[in-house]
Structure 1
Amino acid sequence: MVSNILIFFVASPLQVIASSMIAKDIIHKKKLSKPKCILICYKPKLHEIVSDPIWDTNLYIPWPRYEPLPGFFGVSKRLLSNIKLVGKTIEKKTNIYCFSATYDNEAVNYFINFLKKIL
């Protein structure tokens, strides 16, 4: 059976609130049978303020450019570790719906391309 996953990329408290409202609206209007809802936060301590029970998984993923891992290619290492972390939360045979305020940065685009390849 094919399941549904809603993934929201957020970077501010306002985006967290908007994402909760959008997720609830999508579940209600599309009549999805409780999809897995994942909230991905880019700012430190932002995931700590999330209290809405709609979120099944709440991940903090450091922005690769601003918080690289130590050593050579720290940005690339951070990006790969972030992708692996999100990849662990996704099963095969799923419909993935991605939501973000912007799609023009590396933090989101690499995830979109990665998710297309694993499914």
Structure 2
Amino acid sequence: MGIVSTLDDVLDNVEVFLEGLETGSEKEINTAVELVKAADTFLVIITEDVNIFVPSSFVGYTDQTLAAYDKNKHKKEDEVNELLTKIIGSTPKIDKTMDEFFLDFCDEIEVNRNDVGLSREYWILKNL
């Protein structure tokens, strides 16, 4: 499993993450939830209908699956965040508005707000 090199690679992983979170096996859903709980840096996709939060540690590696990620828990955000910054074209930022949207996202996926960290950073992509 390598590190992503294009925005298309990143967006493919976003799709895989969402599919696993929404319709995956119990194990895949649990892995996705655990990733959300553990992450400090997220890629946020903002659309008219929904805000999507995907941990950088998931979107940063090629050919990603939730099953494969579970086997490779040694993968870390700090290994991919610098490259993701180059691909996305901006650095992740602390954003209080996104924090509120993130907590709403946690409610939707049934993650207790007390189970996530207090400080997060976000790359924000709109209307893809």
Task: Give the shorter-chain TM-score range.
Answer: under 0.3
Give the number of the structure whose residues are more often strand, by fraction.
1
Give the number of the structure whose residues are more often helix, by fraction.
2
User: TM-score of the superposition, structure 1-length normalised?
Assistant: 0.25
User: TM-score of the superposition, structure 2-length normalised?
Assistant: 0.24
